[in-house]
Structure 1
Amino acid sequence: MKKALLVAASILIATSPMAHAAELKVLAGGSTTGWLNELSSQFERANGHKVTIHFDSTPNLIKQATSTPFDLGVVPVDVFRNAGAKARFAPGPTIDIARVGYGVIVRAGASKPDIGSPDAFKKALVDAKSITYLPASAAGAYVASVFEQLGVADAMKAKTVAQTSPGDIAKAVAKGDAELGLFLINVLMAEGVELAGPFPGELQNDLVFTAAVAADTSEADAAKSFIAFLQTPDAAAVIKAKGMNPG
C-alpha cells in the first residue's frame, strides 16, 4: 500500500501543470529497447518531459556511466557490480523493473533440438554446426558461463558467430547464418525464428534490469517520477507483453 501511494504521488507531481518539463537522459540495457521505448513515449505524452535513451551492452553502459552525464539508468544489475559505475548513481537501493530468462531459437520450420536437461542441452550444442549470441554483454557472459558449466566452452568458440547487437541474433538464425541462437528470451522473439525452449532449470537464470537515479542529476524529481511510472500496472502489462517479467 505504501509503495502504491509513493508511485501515485510521484506520477501526480510529474503530471501537474506546474511541473517543470525536464529533458531526461537515460542509460538502458539493449534488451529493454522494445518496452522502454514504448513506455518512455507514454511518459512523455503524460507530462511533457522529454526522454532520450542510450541503449547499450553492459560493458558500454559502464563506460557511459563513468564518462558522460546522465539522469537515470535502467540497466542490468551487473552495471552496479562495477565500483566506478555504481559511484555515479545516488546511494541507496536500486529498484528492479524487469527480469527475463534465457532460451534457444532455431530457424522457423527447422527441427527443434531437445534442450530439456543439461545433458540434452550439451548434446544439442555439440551437434549444432554453428551458434550465435552476443558475447560482449551481461547476458552473453552468462551464456559463456553455461558453456563452461557444460564443459563445451572450447568447442563453442570454434562454432560461434558473434553478434554486436541483441537484435542481430534472431536475424542471423532466420537467415541461416547460425543454427542455434542463445540469449534472453524476449530478444529472441522475432520473425523467422522459433523458440526451441528455455535453458533447462538447473542452468536457467534471470537477468534483472534495475533502475536508479544518477548521483549528480539536476532532474532528480523527474527521474524518480519516470522510475515510478515504470512500476505502474500499465507499465507492467507492456513489459510482460514484450516478453519480460515485471519487477
Structure 2
Amino acid sequence: MHRRLLLGALALPFAARAQAAPLRVLGTGAVAASTRDLAAAFTARTGRAIAFENANAGVVARRLREGEAADLVLNSASQVERLAADGILDGGTRRELGRMLIGAAVRQGAPLPDISTEAALRAAILAAPVIAHSDPATGATAGTHAARLIERLGIAEQMRPRTLVFPGGGAAVQAVAEGRAALALSQVSEIIAVPGAVLVGPLPDSAQLVTAYLGAVHARAADREGALAFLTHLAGPDGQARFRAAGFATG
C-alpha cells in the first residue's frame, strides 16, 4: 500500500507536466529548425510540450506589440533589446543563442556562382534571371539587408522586376529549390534547412550582416519557470551544438 502511494506521488509531477498547456515559443525563421529539434528533445526528457511558431523578426515583434501571448521569444538582438526596453520582454532573462551570417543559395545541381568578393556577388545577382529574399517591408532581417545591399551595388532598378519577395527566408530558399528563382539571399540556417537548395557560401565580408539571436522570457509569461528551463536547454551544451550544426557561431 505504502509503495503504491509513493509511486503515485512520484508520478504526479510528470502527469502534471504532461497535462499542462504547451509552452508557447515565438521565434524567427533563422532559429526555427534548430528550435524544433531541441523542443522535441526537451519534451522527451521533461514531458513538457512546446508549441513553436515562427515568423520574420519584424513580424514577431509586431505580433508581440499587438498583444500576442508567448512564454519565450527568440529574435534578433536588436528586436529583443527594443522589446525589453518597452517592457514586453524581461531583459534580465536574455541569453544569446548564436550569431548568424547571410548567405546565397542555388538549386541543388546548379553551378555555384562566385560570390567571394562584392564585385563577384554583384555579377552573380545580375546573372540570375530571378532572385528571391524575404520581404523588407515586414522587417525581415535578411530581406532588409538584401534590399539595401542591392541598392548599394547600384542594381536595384535592374533587379526590381526580377526579384521575388516572401514573408520569410525559408520560403525564398524554397523558391530556389523548386526552380522558381535562380538565387536566394537568406540566413545560412534557413538555407541549410531546405532540401533541394545548396548553400553557395556566406556573403563576402564587405557585403555581410552578422546577426546575434537571443532568447528572452515574456514579461507576462504564463509559465515563467518552464520558459526559463527551455531557454537554459537552448543555451546549454546540447542546444549550442545544434545551433552550430545549423550554421550559427556560438560561444
Amino acid at match of 1:105: A
TM-score by length of 1: 0.84
Counterparts in 2 of 1:228 and 1:83: CA distance versus 1, 3 Å: closer
- Quote the Cα distance in structure 2 between the aligned partners of 1:86 and 1:210: 16
- Quote the Cα distance in structure 2 between the aligned partners of 1:79 and 1:105: 26
| Structure 1 residue aligned with 2:76 | 76
Q: How does 1:100-111 map to 2 (within 5 A)?
A: 100-111=100-111
| Structure 1 residue aligned with 2:3 | none
| Structure 2 residue aligned with 1:143 | 146
Alignment check: 8 A CA contact 1:95 1:211 kept = yes
1:121 and 2:124 are equivalent in the alignment: no
- Quote the Cα distance in structure 1 between the aligned partners of 2:60 and 2:28: 8
Question: Which ranges in structure 1 are unaligned for 5 or more consecutive residues?
Answer: 1-15
Counterparts in 2 of 1:85 and 1:169: CA distance versus 1, 3 Å: farther
Question: Which ranges in structure 2 are unaligned for 5 or more consecutive residues?
Answer: 1-10
Alignment check: 8 A CA contact 1:169 1:188 kept = no
- Quote the Cα distance in structure 1 between the aligned partners of 2:173 and 2:221: 37
Aligned-pair CA distance for 1:188: 1.2
Aligned-pair CA distance for 1:84: 8.5
Counterparts in 2 of 1:80 and 1:55: CA distance versus 1, 3 Å: same
- Quote the Cα distance in structure 1 between the aligned partners of 2:159 and 2:242: 35
State the Cα RMSD in Å. 2.4
1:181 and 2:184 are equivalent in the alignment: yes
| Structure 1 residue aligned with 2:45 | 46
| Structure 1 residue aligned with 2:5 | none
Amino acid at match of 1:39: L
TM-score by length of 2: 0.82
- Quote the Cα distance in structure 1 between the aligned partners of 2:238 and 2:155: 42
1:68 is paired with a residue whose SS is coil
- Quote the Cα distance in structure 2 between the aligned partners of 1:82 and 1:152: 32
- Quote the Cα distance in structure 1 between the aligned partners of 2:198 and 2:72: 35
| Structure 2 residue aligned with 1:206 | 210
Q: Count matched residues.
A: 232
| Structure 2 residue aligned with 1:235 | 239
